[in-house]
Amino acid sequence: MLNIALFGPPGAGKGTQSEYLIKKYRLFYISTGDLLRKEIADKTKLGREAQNIIASGGLVSDEIIVQIIEKTITENPDSRGFLFDGFPRTYIQAYILEGLMIKLNTSLDCLISLDVPEEESVSRLLNRGKTSGRSDDNEKVIRNRLKEYNDKTLPVLEFYKDKGIYKEINGAQSIDEVKLEIRTIVKNILSKKLYNIVVFGYPGSGRGSQGIAIAKKFGLEYVATGPMLEEEIENDTETGRRIKDLYDSGQLVPDEIVVQLIEKKLEESKGIRGFIFKGYPRTLVQSYILDGLLKKHGSSISQVIEIEVPTLELIRRLDERSKTDRCMPYDTSTSKIVKRLQEHETKTVTVIEKYNQLHGVVKVDGMGNFDEVHENISAEVEEGMKSMR
């Protein structure tokens, strides 16, 4: 996700620059001013409460703002990102935004402040007033809006300066010059963002071999808990011996062990474009753990892919594999294979459903040959990455 807040006094050009950002990065636009004007036009209770304050150029209460923002954000949780215009406008609203972002398991990437001298704001707004039809675009109200901005809104900048995500642009330049500077800022943010994929599929769906190939093609780090655990067994560590016992009885390995191994992997991987997780998360608990682990690295899940293969074909593939040297300790017998398929059915399918609601899960047909499936997955990844550019 890419989340940006455009900041600046009334008339700084936030609305104009927003149009470009929404189109270019396909962001969901949230202008609290627009939302309030809609409430007023619809004659809702909130609209009636806000009407007089807006007409006088004052700031609407944080209570009203939190209600309209919460409604809009939670109705669009699967958006690629949000662009806030005119929010946060008070120090309290900066905290509200933090809370809302946490709720969506994301964070604000930057606050871009368009710096414009006061008299320039006034003359722009008076000019706009000739055609905008906005009753608050007249000199008396404009002066009050600017006073509110200086008193209540400017202190918000400190919040973001402290967080290190504050960027300032000279808003008195031409529209195109401002646009170019915004573009440079956003490009820089995107180049530092990790692209993280979770690949799902029943055992035997090809998620492992496809995951490795996708990781190689797109410069991602392949994180597969299975092989990590295998390595422990091979090195005959104490953890490895515990894991082996669990495998033999067809059980999942406890989260404590897996978390430590993933954490190590995330920490050791530097200068990569992102991660591709295979075989993790398998349970709802693990999905929360993964969110937490990625968050610790200032990142989150970018795309979820599920490779679909019918059950009979899965059994056929796993049975075949068990007769080759690619046989895994957990598919040496039919009962173990069935147990693994069951584990996926009862625990992991719930995780996929959760992701489907949160991010949308891309389903890919896993029945073709390796190259066909690989091409289909690649196309989805390319599409996903493109939307981040």
Alpha carbons within 13 A on the beta-carbon side of 43 = 0
**166, β-bridge pairs:** 111
Minimum CB distance to ligand AMP smaller for 136 or for 232: 136
Report in angstroms how near the CB of residue 378 gets to ligand AMP at its nearest.
42
Q: What is the 3-state secondary structure (H, E, C) of 224-268?
A: EHHHHHHHHHHCCCHHHHHHHHHHHCCCCCCHHHHHHHHHHHHHH
Report in angstroms how near the CB of residue 78 gets to ligand AMP at its nearest.
24
Minimum CB distance to ligand AMP smaller for 4 or for 294: 4
Dig out the tokens for 218 from the structure: 């797109």
Report in angstroms how near the CB of residue 205 gets to ligand AMP at its nearest.
47
Query: Which residue's beta carbon is nearest to the bound ligand AMP?
Result: 33
Spatial separation of the C-alpha atoms in residues 374 and 58, rounded to whole Å: 57
| Residues 49 and 63: beta-carbon distance below 8 Å | no
Report in angstroms how near the CB of residue 65 gets to ligand AMP at its nearest.
5
Minimum CB distance to ligand AMP smaller for 39 or for 221: 39
Report in angstroms how near the CB of residue 119 gets to ligand AMP at its nearest.
18
Minimum CB distance to ligand AMP smaller for 80 or for 128: 128
| Residues 57 and 145: beta-carbon distance below 8 Å | yes
Report the run of H or E that residue 114 belongs to, with start and end: strand 110-115
Minimum CB distance to ligand AMP smaller for 59 or for 351: 59
| Residue owning tokens 């573009």 | 183
Report in angstroms how near the CB of residue 56 gets to ligand AMP at its nearest.
8
Q: Which residues contact 136 (CB under 8 A, 6 or more apart)?
A: 54, 55, 57, 142, 145
Site of interaction with ligand AMP (CB under 6 A): 10, 32-33, 36, 53-54, 57-60, 65, 86-87, 89, 93, 136, 145
Minimum CB distance to ligand AMP smaller for 124 or for 265: 124
**CA dihedral for 39, 42, 45, 48, sign (positive or negative):** positive
Report in angstroms how near the CB of residue 31 gets to ligand AMP at its nearest.
6
Minimum CB distance to ligand AMP smaller for 150 or for 346: 150
Report in angstroms how near the CB of residue 163 gets to ligand AMP at its nearest.
18
Minimum CB distance to ligand AMP smaller for 53 or for 259: 53
Spatial separation of the C-alpha atoms in residues 304 and 200, rounded to whole Å: 8
Spatial separation of the C-alpha atoms in residues 381 and 193, rounded to whole Å: 15
Spatial separation of the C-alpha atoms in residues 99 and 121, rounded to whole Å: 31
Q: Which residues contact 169 (CB under 8 A, 6 or more apart)?
A: 112, 113, 114, 115, 178, 181, 182, 185
